[in-house]
Amino acid sequence: MSYRSQLQIKFHPGAFATKNPNADRTNLPLELSFINGKPASPIASLVLHSLRSHLATIQQSNVAPKQLLHFVSSAWDRALGLENEARMLEFCGVTRLTLSGPTEASSCLRARCTLLSKAAVSSTPGRKGAAKNNGAKRIDVDFIVRTHIVPEDSKDIGSLDFDIDVLATKVYGFGSGNKSGLSDKEMQGILDKGLERQDGDAQLGNGVWCKAVRILTGSVF
């Protein structure tokens, strides 16, 4: 079976929950992969690895095929929302995605958005050190994303969710030791407030990351 022409899942329906109390409880092979081996983005790789890791731990006979498919499709929808957040960060600054430890349980994704003041953007190319000497400023905003499984009372398989931390770091342009301007605590407060969920509107995919970063940009430059 496939989902959104992106993800492919192969499994044995008979290995999953049935009404037969004498059914074999042995797990059978289950494969989850990208369709046609398409190159994966760091976000897609993180989510796919998390899904594979969790599905390897479940007792298939306790899970209905419908629950399995809902788990995978819901997780992938969440991943697409995260992809959209990362794309919209490009409107705020140069954004790079880095995946660490893709084969480890502690794997995480870093989305770094580099914010530059207008002086840095308009500095003369080719002049080494020009950006740092003409009043330019730079701040890096890092979104650190990890996955976890949320257990649900009505489902033995649970659901996938994200733990997201954000941190702003002064790189240059804020005086000796980068001590001038807003403090690290103040910048953190601006980002945290911008990411607060209000009546469920700040869902991933709606540009909540971009909005929070733009508020920070307007406050520091």
| 23 has pLDDT over 70 | no
| 127 has pLDDT over 90 | no
177 pLDDT band, cuts 50/70/90, is confident
Task: Round to whole Å and give the CA distance between 65 and 145.
Answer: 29
Residue 131 buriedness (CB in 10 A; 0-12 / 13-18 / 19+): buried
pLDDT averaged over every residue in the chain:
86
Residue bearing tokens 């733009």: 214
Could you give the percent of the chain with pLDDT greater than 90? 65
135 pLDDT band, cuts 50/70/90, is confident
50 pLDDT band, cuts 50/70/90, is very high
Task: Round to whole Å and give the CA distance between 111 and 97.
Answer: 5
Lowest mean pLDDT among 19-23, 58-62, 116-120, 144-148: 19-23
If you average pLDDT over residues 92-115, what whole number do you get?
85
198 pLDDT band, cuts 50/70/90, is very low
- DSSP per-residue string spanning the chain: -EETTTEEEE--GGGS--S-TT--------EEEEGGGPPPPHHHHHHHHHHHHHHTTS-GGGS-HHHHHHHHHHHHHHHHHHHHHHHHHTTTSEEEEEEE-TTSTT-EEEEEEEEE-HHHHTSPTT-TTHHHHTT--EEEEEEEEEEEEEEETTEEEEEEEEEEEEEEEEEESSSGGG-SSS-HHHHHHHHHHHT--STT---TTSSHHHHHHHHHHHHH-
> Domain ranges in the chain?
2-220
If you average pLDDT over residues 25-31, what whole number do you get?
92
Q: What is the DSSP letter of 179?
A: -
If you average pLDDT over residues 49-73, what whole number do you get?
94
Residue-level pLDDT at 106: 66
| 124 has pLDDT over 50 | no
Helix extents (H) in 90-180: 118-121, 130-133
